[in-house]
DNA sequence: GCCACTGTGTGAAACGTTTCATGCCGACAC
DNA sequence: GTGTCGGCATGAAACGTTTCACACAGTGGC
């Protein structure tokens, strides 16, 4: 159907080996021959068949990246970082979106394996699944993104959520708040639980009793609407709480709307801290103080570790990289 | 390295042809043989090499999707819709992000061609580029997403932006506004220009003079910050304008913040209409009236057209599908 | 004039599948 | 017993590359 290397060879009057050399090792071919082959290639509109190339070569220069949710800016930035690094190092990235569904995760792992990718970057739905172990056993390096493997039999890159909670807590305590509400998603998520741990540590470090200072409200969904409703219900008869720490920015924005709609001034009556520092945080009705994660860095680091393991499997030692988050102060906690 | 079909055949004591049949035509194989082969497959951890399969088969069941910007929720939804349909029809989608850079678009087109994808869905950076025509000439069907080809030599799916502008205009005029500001990105973008055209049509249809009613402010960037600054500058000494129509929701959110910060009530002093109906529009400080595009539908329709052309190239006739947008009324224009 | 060498090109093997013509075997009809 | 047929399995060819051992022809040293 489409022209093959053989057609090109015939037209240029050379052997197939020579055409292949023009494609892959141009320096081995005399200038005149190379020109003739190039001419034949463009005349025929030849495009290399990568299936054949990869079959013969036995190995591909591509890695897979499976994320939980491409709609989440966090993963979008991670992907961007990983792509940039992979590109520099001569690898292509195959992007897959598991959408938090085990069936999709499985299907993509299968596809990536069939394509013989060199390695896989993944935020697994469940850490320590048999499927992933099997992949590793068969010799495909994997790196966990935003997760850690307690058994440490692969590399991983994550952000220290305990520190994030501490930063938020210390900031609010420093502003004089004595009743802090932690509005969170399911505490079964490590992320949410760790942030609470950090918050408690900050309170304890200030010489206060976490049990007295912190109040936890756990919601199932982590979006603005849920948070808005929860905040409204809560604030109907509560004037003691002067600060809210939310497990993500969407929830913080919901709380902000609830506060403004019930006539509270932010930050004077209520201080709000979010998490993630999403793009819109700075542009909210009251710009949001938030905890920023080095998202692109996560992707970059993960890709680097993976490529390192792919290229030097024998000397490679697994690492657990842990980034520190950063506090970004805006008007929702303090006006300068 | 990893076990091949041959290893499986040896271990199961059958020929390679039989193993292949177990994989692709299980019904042609006797139950007992099939079981033996399956056992060998799992014992060895065999995974089919898709390069070899595709090379032999000569054709793949995958299509490429090249979008401008995965960070934009619009394209995210389009991708989702396309993936769903492709999946139902037995095609896999290879997702590529051109990031508005011609070099990346070119590279991905090259990669997709080398992989011999059956077809390509693309929002091209430039309509009518030679590269895309060449691809089509070589027999790879393409469908334009959110773009139209004036020469109509391929299918396309887009949304009618003129109607979107009309909807916004008619809504604001119906509320009694007589001075409307259109805050837009570059009018060189068809999207932005068409929305203005629609707005003018609505004004004319109401028997008014577009030149008197509409005021256009064109900014280079279409984000919240730019819009916020533009709105602030504008409103410093302008009380005549009572309504703003923004070319996207991010700009509308910027205007909203500027309005609230300068003490205007929304919608009483200023009505605001956005465009795109992004997820956060409903959760803004004042929920935003916006124009919703059937984003997932766009992706679904595009994938359907493409697969149709791939599967029945001879009977296929190119179509230009044009969806109608929809007005979503919220508090930023009228309180019920 | 011979040797070694370099630069360039050749041709065949191999990669792991799928497909297809062929063959084997037992069952059933006559 | 012969002929036919269906169900299953086989083995080889083919897909389009890359690689590698080899060949060939100049070149320069001696």
Nearest Cα to B216, choosing from B205, B207, B203?
Answer: B203
**A335 domain-assigned:** no
pLDDT in tens, B237-296: 888 899 999 999 999 999 999 998 888 998 999 999 999 998 888 878 888 999 999 999
The rounded distance, in Å, linking the Cα atoms of B289 and B168 is 9
- CA-based Rg of chain A, rounded to a whole angstrom? 26
Residues 44-73 of B with CB under 8 A from A: 45, 47-52, 54-55, 58, 60, 70-71, 73
Pair B171, B247 in one domain: yes
Instruction: Flag residues of chain A having pLDDT under 50.
Output: none
- Pair of tokens at residue B151: 């020469």
Coil vs helix vs strand at A336: coil
* B336 pLDDT higher than 70: no
Pair A131, A168 in one domain: no
DSSP assigned state of B289: B
**Mean pLDDT of all residues in B127-139:** 88
CB–CB of B138 and A285 under 8 A? no
Q: Is the CB of B56 under 7 A from strand D?
A: yes
Q: From the CA of A40 to the C1' of D20: give the distance in Å.
A: 25
Please state, as a whole number, how many other Cβ atoms lie within 10 Å of the Cβ of residue B26. 12
CB–CB of A50 and B114 under 8 A? yes
Q: Is the dihedral of CA B295, B300, B304, B307 positive or negative?
A: positive
Looking at chain B, the whole-number percentage of residues with pLDDT higher than 70 is: 100
Pair B275, B165 in one domain: yes
Q: Is the CB of residue A110 less than 8 Å away from at least one CB of chain B?
A: yes
Pair B188, B310 in one domain: no
The rounded distance, in Å, linking the Cα atoms of A191 and B166 is 46
Coil vs helix vs strand at A318: coil
- Are B85 and B296 a contacting pair, CB within 8 Å? no
The pLDDT confidence band at residue B122, using thresholds 50, 70 and 90, is very high
Pair A104, A82 in one domain: yes
Which residues are within 8 A (CB) of A193 and not within 5 positions of it... i.e. 6 or more apart? A187
| DSSP states along A130-160 | HHHHHHHHTT--EEEES---TT--SEEEEE-
pLDDT in tens, A25-62: 999 999 999 999 999 999 999 999 999 999 998 889 99
**A336 domain-assigned:** no
**B333 domain-assigned:** no
Closest Cα in chain B, distance from residue A200 (Å) = 30
Pair B27, B116 in one domain: no
> CATH number, domain at A47?
1.10.260
Pair B165, B288 in one domain: yes
Q: Are strands B119-122 and B62-67 parallel, antiparallel or unpaired?
A: parallel
**A100 domain-assigned:** yes
Q: Is the CB of A223 under 7 A from strand D?
A: no
| B83 to chain A: closest CA residue | A97
CB–CB of A76 and B71 under 8 A? yes
- Structure-token match 């969904």, residue found: A221
Pair B257, B197 in one domain: yes
- Are B282 and B330 a contacting pair, CB within 8 Å? yes
The rounded distance, in Å, linking the Cα atoms of A103 and A84 is 29
Kindly state the helix (H) or strand (E) to which residue A81 belongs, with its residue range. helix A73-88
- Are A193 and A165 a contacting pair, CB within 8 Å? no
Nearest Cα to B14, choosing from B28, B1, B2?
Answer: B28
Of residues B54, B95, B254, nearest to A283 (C-beta): B254
pLDDT of residue A193: 96
pLDDT of residue A336: 64
DSSP E strands, A10-162: 62-67, 92-97, 119-122, 142-145, 155-159
* B99 pLDDT higher than 90: no
pLDDT of residue B335: 79
- Are B104 and B116 a contacting pair, CB within 8 Å? no
**B335 domain-assigned:** no
Q: Is the CB of B72 under 7 A from strand C?
A: no
Shortest CA–C1' contact from A31: which nucleotide? C8
Using the 3D structure, point to which of A56, A79, A97 is the last residue of a domain.
A56
pLDDT of residue A280: 80
CB–CB of A49 and B114 under 8 A? yes
The rounded distance, in Å, linking the Cα atoms of B118 and B63 is 5
Coil vs helix vs strand at B66: strand
Q: Which residues of A touch B100 (CB under 8 A)?
A: none
The rounded distance, in Å, linking the Cα atoms of A170 and A168 is 6
Pair B29, B153 in one domain: no
Helix, strand, coil content of chain B in percent (nearest 5): 50, 15, 35
Pair A41, A80 in one domain: no
Q: Is the CB of B1 under 7 A from strand D?
A: no
Q: Which residues of B touch A55 (CB under 8 A)?
A: 49, 51-52, 55
Coil vs helix vs strand at A246: strand
> CATH number, domain at A274?
3.40.50.2300
> CATH number, domain at B43?
1.10.260.40
Q: Which residues of B touch A47 (CB under 8 A)?
A: 110, 113-114, 138
- Are B277 and B290 a contacting pair, CB within 8 Å? yes
The rounded distance, in Å, linking the Cα atoms of B64 and A94 is 12
**B101 domain-assigned:** yes
User: What is the span of the domain harbouring residue A272?
Assistant: 161-293
Number of domains in chain A: 3
- Pair of tokens at residue B288: 């935003």
Q: From the CA of B3 to the C1' of D17: give the distance in Å.
A: 21
Pair B50, B76 in one domain: no
Strand partners, A245: A182, A273
- Are B289 and B274 a contacting pair, CB within 8 Å? yes
Closest Cα in chain B, distance from residue A174 (Å) = 27
pLDDT of residue B283: 78
**Mean pLDDT of all residues in B176-195:** 94
Coil vs helix vs strand at B321: strand
pLDDT of residue A127: 85
**Mean pLDDT of all residues in B199-219:** 96
Q: Are strands B155-159 and B142-145 parallel, antiparallel or unpaired?
A: parallel
**Average pLDDT for chain B:** 93
Pair B239, B267 in one domain: yes
- Are A67 and A96 a contacting pair, CB within 8 Å? yes
- Pair of tokens at residue A283: 């542009």
pLDDT of residue A163: 98
Burial of A151 (0-12, 13-18, 19+ CB in 10 A): exposed
Please state, as a whole number, how many other Cβ atoms lie within 10 Å of the Cβ of residue A42. 9
* B57 pLDDT higher than 80: yes
DSSP assigned state of A14: S
The rounded distance, in Å, linking the Cα atoms of B274 and A14 is 62
Q: Which residues of B touch A110 (CB under 8 A)?
A: 47
């Amino acid at each position: 159907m489409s022209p093959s290397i053989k057609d090109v060879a015939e037209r240029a009057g050379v052997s197939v080996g020579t055409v292949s050399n023009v494609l892959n090792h141009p320096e081995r071919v005399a200038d005149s021959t190379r020109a003739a082959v190039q001419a034949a290639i463009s005349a025929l509109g030849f495009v290399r068949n990568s299936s054949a190339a990869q079959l013969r070569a036995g190995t591909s220069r591509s890695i897979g990246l499976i994320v939980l949710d491409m709609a989440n800016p966090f993963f979008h930035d991670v992907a961007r970082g990983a792509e940039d690094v992979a590109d520099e190092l001569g690898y292509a990235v195959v992007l897959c979106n598991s959408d938090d569904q085990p069936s999709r995760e499985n299907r993509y792992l299968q596809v990536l394996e069939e394509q013989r990718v060199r390695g896989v970057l993944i935020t697994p739905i469940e850490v320590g699944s048999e499927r992933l172990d099997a992949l590793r056993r068969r010799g495909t390096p994997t790196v966990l993104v935003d997760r850690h493997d307690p058994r440490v039999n692969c590399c991983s890159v994550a952000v220290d959520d305990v520190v994030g909670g501490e930063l938020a807590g210390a900031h609010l305590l420093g502003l004089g708040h004595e009743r802090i509400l932690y509005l969170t998603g399911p505490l079964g998520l490590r992320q949410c639980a760790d942030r609470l741990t950090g918050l408690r540590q900050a309170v304890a470090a200030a010489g206060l009793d976490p049990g007295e200072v912190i109040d936890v409200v756990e919601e199932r969904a982590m979006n603005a609407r849920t948070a808005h409703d929860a905040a409204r219900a809560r604030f109907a008869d509560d004037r003691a709480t002067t600060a809210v720490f939310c497990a993500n920015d969407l929830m913080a924005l919901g709380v902000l709307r609830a506060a403004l709609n019930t006539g509270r001034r932010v930050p004077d009556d209520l201080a709000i801290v979010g998490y993630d520092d999403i793009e819109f945080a700075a542009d909210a009705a009251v710009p949001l103080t938030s905890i920023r994660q080095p998202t692109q860095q996560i992707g970059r680091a993960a890709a680097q570790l993976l490529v390192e393991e792919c290229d030097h499997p024998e000397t490679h030692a697994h690492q657990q990289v842990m980034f520190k988050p950063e506090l970004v102060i805006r008007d929702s906690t303090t006006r300068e």
